[in-house]
Structure 1
């Protein structure tokens, strides 16, 4: 066991007015399985890059171990897979590599194939196996689940649970619960480390948030009461002051000594109230700094005149000589929330494209309702460029509503002025989802909408779908999301 010490870490990107990290101090045990969580744009990947020494920064980072980043970049995807492993770790021992691949349920023959012939899941597993061969290294594992299906996530989660000495960035709640023993959360106002998995951290956070909200409400009432009391005392003091040079109602002269003592007593009381009021304000200022903005989203879906929107009967999709999926039968009725599940390569995205009316080679029966309007969120975000205003205009959606949804999904206003190609992966996905929520459609079709999206935004989207019950068909590998949302599951 050794410690990674971070003292007074301060960092801002060049040209930025705001620090991403400001005097952050913490310790990390190199034996921990540490889950790193925080909303999109909070600096999770930046934090990993600071540990790697990629950026100049204020403060100090000291460690007796080296850092390794995942995913390892593979410049030439046509390279033989075993050569990719050698490039990552030239001193690997073959039997140790075989042991790691076995734990990850990867067959040995992948090593003799070009890396680009491997599925996304196989690539992820091979790179993890190679990196965990390195001794005296603390691994920085950045969102390994984005291209893993549910089965692969379970395998990789079980694998990581047997290991130690890593920071894992992931937004999949079930995956984090499966394999971490500490949570490092980048909050709005600070960074904190807690022992436990994601669920225990989230429970603690909700408890703390509820306490702070209740305490804030109590202090707010106290401050108002004290302000009213201060105003009354000030009024009484003024009235007493007026009597100094006057006479009593009986016509006798005023006892100025009595009046002075009374005024002094009132002044003392006023100072006490002022002190209590300031103390309450100081206490109130300490609260709510880490309460996340997670306002509810809204959705207005068009009603389709018929109950059945889409029907497939023994449908098969082909790409040339290859069959992507075979003999698939299901229907999408009004109000259905249909989850398409299955291994990577089982044809989920192919069926999505068929439903959306893309030209695709298929056999069997496929029927879509007449004049059915579909809002489609695709996996790829690389086409996003330009600014949000032009994007809203080009898609015929209300710009104010579009940006209001993005604000609720934790977009800072400064993001509205930026070029979309500079957005993080999660922010780009939020753009696609916000656009879809603005479009007038009978059916939502979302293909892996949650890739890169932070946990709190996932929960907001869940609440939206549960509250408004739109008709939707989706592909998603986040097990908890699927369990919470789907009314119908089609397994391929």
Structure 2
């Protein structure tokens, strides 16, 4: 066991006036299975890069271990998988590699195939196997689930649970729960560590948030009561002080000493109340610092003139001679939230492309309502660039509504001035989702919309879909999201 000590860490990117970290202190045990969480843009990947020594910073990070980052960069994806592993871990022992592959339910023959012929899920598993061949290293695992289907996520979480000595960045609640024993969270104003899995951390956070909201309400009432009382006392003392130079109603002479003493006593009481009021205000300012903004969003989907929007009957889809899925039958009716599930490569994205109107070779019957308007969120965000203002204009959506939705999804106003190409992966996906929510359509179709999106935003999007019940067809490997949202599941 050794410790990673972070002391007085302060960091901001060149040209940026807002700090990612500001005088942060904490320490990590290198034996932990550490889940790393926080909203998009808070600095999770930045912190991993600081551990790797990629940026200059002020403060100190001390560690007696080396760091390895996942995913590895693979230069020549056409090379045999075994050669790629040899480049990553030159001194590996073959029997150890075969053992890791076996734990990940991969056969040894993947080693003798070109890396680019493996599925995204197989590539992820192979690189994870290589990662855990690195001995005496603390492993930095950055969002490994983005290319894994549900079955693969369960398998990889079980695999990671058998290991230790890593930081895992993931936004999948079930995945984190299955394989971590501590949580490192980047909050709005601090960084904290708690023992337990994500559900333990979330329960503690909700308890703390509820306590702070109750305290905030109580202190707000106290401040108002003290403020009103202080004003009354101050007014009384001034009125009493005025009588020093006058006469009583009876015409007798005023006892200035008595009146002055009474006025001073009232003034002292007023000052005491002011101090108590300021103390209450100071105490109040310490509350609500880490309560995340998760205001409800609004969506106004267009009603369609028929209940049935689209239908597939015994549809099979082909790429060339190869059949990617066969004999698919499904109906999309108004108000349904349909999850398309199945292993990677089972044809989920192909069905979505067919419904969206892309030229797809298929057999069987496909019917789509006339003048049906669809909003599509793709997996790909690489095309996003320019300002949010120009993006809204080019897509014909209401800019103020678009930015309002992004604000509620935790975008700062500073973010509005940046080019979209500089956004984090999660922030780019939020741009696509916000655009989709602004579009006047009959049907939302989202293809893996939650990749890179932080957990609190996922919960927020869940609440939105449950409240407004739009008609939506989606592919998503986050099992909690599917369980909470889907009214119907189509398994391919």
1:4-48, CA deviations, whole angstroms, 9 ceiling, x for partnerless residues?
111111101111111110111111000100000000000000000
Q: Distance in 2 between matches of 1:91 and 1:64?
A: 21
Give 1:240-389 correspondences, 5 Å limit.
Answer: 240-389=240-389
Instruction: Name the residue aligned to 2:205.
Output: 205
Instruction: Name the residue aligned to 1:149.
Output: 149
With normalisation by structure 2, the TM-score equals 0.99
Show structure 1 runs of 4+ deviating over 2 A.
Answer: none
Deviation for aligned residue 1:396: 1.1
Q: Distance in 1 between matches of 2:24 and 2:423?
A: 25
Instruction: Name the residue aligned to 1:165.
Output: 165
Deviation for aligned residue 1:59: 0.8
1:385-416, CA deviations, whole angstroms, 9 ceiling, x for partnerless residues?
11111111111111110110000001111111
Q: Distance in 1 between matches of 2:200 and 2:107?
A: 36
Instruction: Name the residue aligned to 1:235.
Output: 235
1:349-396, CA deviations, whole angstroms, 9 ceiling, x for partnerless residues?
000000101111111010001111101001101111111111111111
Instruction: Name the residue aligned to 1:490.
Output: 490
Q: Secondary structure at the match of 1:383?
A: coil
Q: Secondary structure at the match of 2:134?
A: coil
Q: Secondary structure at the match of 1:244?
A: helix
Instruction: Name the residue aligned to 2:457.
Output: 457
Q: Distance in 1 between matches of 2:321 and 2:419?
A: 41
Instruction: Name the residue aligned to 1:8.
Output: 8
Give 1:336-485 correspondences, 5 Å limit.
Answer: 336-485=336-485
Q: Secondary structure at the match of 1:243?
A: helix
Deviation for aligned residue 1:427: 0.6
Q: Distance in 1 between matches of 2:337 and 2:273?
A: 58
Deviation for aligned residue 1:339: 0.3
With normalisation by structure 1, the TM-score equals 0.99
Q: Secondary structure at the match of 1:473?
A: strand
Alignment pair present for 1:92 and 2:92: yes
1:77-136, CA deviations, whole angstroms, 9 ceiling, x for partnerless residues?
111101111111111000000000000011100100111111111111111111101111
1:114-168, CA deviations, whole angstroms, 9 ceiling, x for partnerless residues?
1111111111111111110111100000000001000110010000000000000
Q: 5+ residue gaps in structure 1?
A: none
Q: Distance in 2 between matches of 1:107 and 1:471?
A: 41
Q: Distance in 1 between matches of 2:141 and 2:179?
A: 13
Indicate the RMSD between aligned Cα atoms, in angstroms: 0.7
Q: Secondary structure at the match of 1:189?
A: coil
Instruction: Name the residue aligned to 1:111.
Output: 111
Instruction: Name the residue aligned to 1:57.
Output: 57
Q: Distance in 1 between matches of 2:253 and 2:310?
A: 96
Q: Distance in 1 between matches of 2:284 and 2:9?
A: 27
Deviation for aligned residue 1:291: 0.7
Q: Distance in 2 between matches of 1:285 and 1:392?
A: 37
Q: Distance in 1 between matches of 2:429 and 2:317?
A: 27
Q: Secondary structure at the match of 2:56?
A: coil
1:450-472, CA deviations, whole angstroms, 9 ceiling, x for partnerless residues?
00000010001000000111110
Q: Secondary structure at the match of 2:430?
A: helix
1:404-446, CA deviations, whole angstroms, 9 ceiling, x for partnerless residues?
0000001111111111111111111001000000001111000
Q: Distance in 1 between matches of 2:18 and 2:360?
A: 48
Q: Distance in 2 between matches of 1:247 and 1:354?
A: 95
Equivalent residue pairs, number? 492
Instruction: Name the residue aligned to 1:35.
Output: 35
Q: Distance in 2 between matches of 1:348 and 1:281?
A: 55
Deviation for aligned residue 1:285: 0.7
Deviation for aligned residue 1:296: 0.3
Q: Secondary structure at the match of 2:365?
A: strand
Q: Distance in 1 between matches of 2:234 and 2:311?
A: 76
Instruction: Name the residue aligned to 1:101.
Output: 101
Q: Secondary structure at the match of 2:203?
A: helix
Q: 5+ residue gaps in structure 2?
A: none
Give 1:164-203 correspondences, 5 Å limit.
Answer: 164-203=164-203
Deviation for aligned residue 1:319: 0.5
1:291-325, CA deviations, whole angstroms, 9 ceiling, x for partnerless residues?
10100011101111111111101101111111111
Q: Distance in 2 between matches of 1:289 and 1:431?
A: 26
Deviation for aligned residue 1:270: 1.1
Q: Distance in 2 between matches of 1:192 and 1:148?
A: 29
Q: Secondary structure at the match of 2:145?
A: coil
1:457-488, CA deviations, whole angstroms, 9 ceiling, x for partnerless residues?
00010000001111100000000000000011
Alignment pair present for 1:219 and 2:214: no
